[in-house]
Structure 1
Amino acid sequence: MAYRFSKNDQFDYEILLALGSAWRQGADVGEVLSAASAVGDGDEEGWFRVWTDLARRVRAQGERSAAAGHPVSARHAYLRAAGYFAMALVAVDALADPETHLRAVFPEHRDCFDRFARALDPPAEQVSIPYEGGPLPGYLVSPPGRSGPLPTLIANNGSDGPISSVWTLLGAPAVARGYRTLLFDGPGQQSMLFERGVPFRPDWENVITPVVDHLLARPDVDPRRLVLCGISQGGYWVPRAIAFEHRLAAAVADPGVVSVVESWWANLGPDLRALWESGDRVGFDQVVTGALQEDPALASTWRWRAKPYAIDSPFDLLTEVSRYDVTPVADRITTPLLITDPEGEHFWPGASRRLYDALPGPKRLVRFTEAEGAHLHCEPTGRALFEQRVFDWLDSRLDQV
Structure 2
Amino acid sequence: MMRNPFLHPNRVFSSGFYRDADPDFEVRTTLGRVASGAADIGEVLSTIAEIDEGDSQAWFDRWMALGERVQTIAEESAARGHLVSAAGSYLRASTYFGVALGSIDRLDSDELLVPTFRRHREAWDRFVDATSAKTERVEIPYEGITMPGYLFKLTGTDAERCLILVNGSDGTLSGLWGCAKAALERGYAVLMFDGPGQQSLLFEKDVPFRFDSEAVITPVVDFLLERPDVGSNRLAIYGVSQAGYWVPRALAFEHRIAAAVADPGVVEVSTSWIEHLPSGLRKLLAEGNERRFDLEMSLGMKLSRETSRMWNFRARPYRQDGYFKTIQEVLKYNLTDVVGRIRTPMFITDPEDEQFWPGQAKQLADMLPGEKMLSTFTAAEGANFHCQPLARTLTEQRMFDWLDDVLTR
- TM-score of the pair, normalised by structure 2: 0.94
Q: Which residue of 1 aligns with 2:112?
A: 101
Q: Does 1:240 align with 2:240?
A: no
Matched with 1:357 is: 366
C-alpha contact 2:267 2:336 (8 A) present in aligned 1 = yes
The amino acid that maps onto 1:118 is D
- 2:328 counterpart of 1:319: yes
User: Are the counterparts in 2 of residues 122 and 142 from structure 1 also a CA contact under 8 Å?
Assistant: yes
- SS at 2:376 equivalent: strand
User: Which residue identity lines up with residue 92 of structure 2 in the other structure?
Assistant: R
Larger Rg: 2
**Which one of the candidate residues 82, 93, 97 is aligned to 1:81?**
93
Pick from 14, 23, 30: which aligns with 1:2? 14
Aligned equivalent of 2:3: none
1:331 aligns with one of 326, 340, 343: 340
**Aligned match of 1:151:** 161
3-state SS, counterpart of residue 237 of structure 2: strand
1:308 and 2:317 equivalent? yes
Q: Is the 8 A contact 2:160 2:233 kept in 1?
A: no
Q: Is the 8 A contact 1:21 1:27 kept in 2?
A: yes
Alignment equivalent of 2:275, drawn from 251, 259, 266: 266
**2:224 match:** 215
Q: Tell me the alpha carbon deviations over residues 297-355 of structure 1, each in whole angstroms, 9 at most, x when there is no partner.
A: 22222211111101241111000000011111001000101111010111000001111
2:149 aligned with 1:138:
yes
State the partner residue of 2:78: 66
Matched-pair contact (CA < 8 Å) for 2:134–2:154 = no
Q: Which moved more, 1:20-29 or 1:31-40?
A: 31-40
Q: Which aligned runs of 4 or more in structure 1 are off by greater than 3 angstroms?
A: none
Q: 1:251 aligns with which of 249, 260, 277?
A: 260
Contact (CA 8 Å) 1:292, 1:298: kept in 2 or not? yes
Is contact 1:236-1:260 (8 Å) kept?
Answer: yes
Q: Partners in 1 of 2:177 and 2:275 — Cα distance? A: 29
Structure 2 unmatched ranges of 5 or more: 1-12
CA distance in 2, matches of 1:145, 1:369: 39
CA distance in 2, matches of 1:38, 1:294: 30
SS at 1:155 equivalent: strand
Q: CA deviation at 1:217?
A: 1.1
Q: Secondary structure at the match of 1:105?
A: helix
Cα offset, 1:296, TM superposition? 2.0
Which amino acid in the other structure matches residue 46 of structure 2? S
Cα distance between partner residues in 2 of 1:352 and 1:270: 26
Cα deviation, 1:332-385, whole Å, max 9, x if unaligned, reads 000101111010111000001111111111111110011000111000001111
Instruction: State the secondary structure of the residue aligned to 1:136.
Output: strand
Taking the aligned partners of 2:301 and 2:53, their CA distance within structure 1 comes to 19
Q: Distance in 1 between matches of 2:303 and 2:294?
A: 14
Tell me the equivalent position of 2:171.
161
User: C-alpha displacement at 1:222, in angstroms?
Assistant: 5.3
The answer as to whether partners of 1:7 and 1:42 remain within 8 angstroms in 2 is no
CA distance in structure 1 between the partners assigned to 2:70 and 2:233 by the alignment: 41
Task: State the aligned residue count.
Answer: 397
Q: Are 2:59 and 1:50 aligned?
A: no
Q: In the TM superposition, what whole-angstrom CA distance separates every residue of 1:63-118 from its partner, at most 9, and x where no partner exists?
A: 001001111111011011111111001221233331x2012111110010001111
Shift of 1:278: 1.8
| Contact preservation (8 Å) 1:150, 1:222 | no
Give the conservation status (yes or no) of the 8 Å contact 2:153–2:189.
yes
2:14 is paired with a residue of what secondary structure?
coil
Unaligned runs of 5+ in 1: none
Residue type at the aligned position of 2:88:
H
Match of 2:145, SS state, is: coil
Following the alignment from structure 2 to structure 1, what is the Cα–Cα distance between the partners of residues 221 and 157?
21
Separation of aligned partners in 2, 1:378 and 1:36: 22
**Partner SS for 1:267:** coil
Q: 1:236 aligns to what SS in structure 2? A: helix
Aligned-residue RMSD, C-alpha: 1.3
- Is residue 114 from structure 1 mapped to residue 125 from structure 2 by the alignment? yes
Is 1:396 aligned with 2:409? no
- The sequence identity of aligned pairs, in percent, is 49
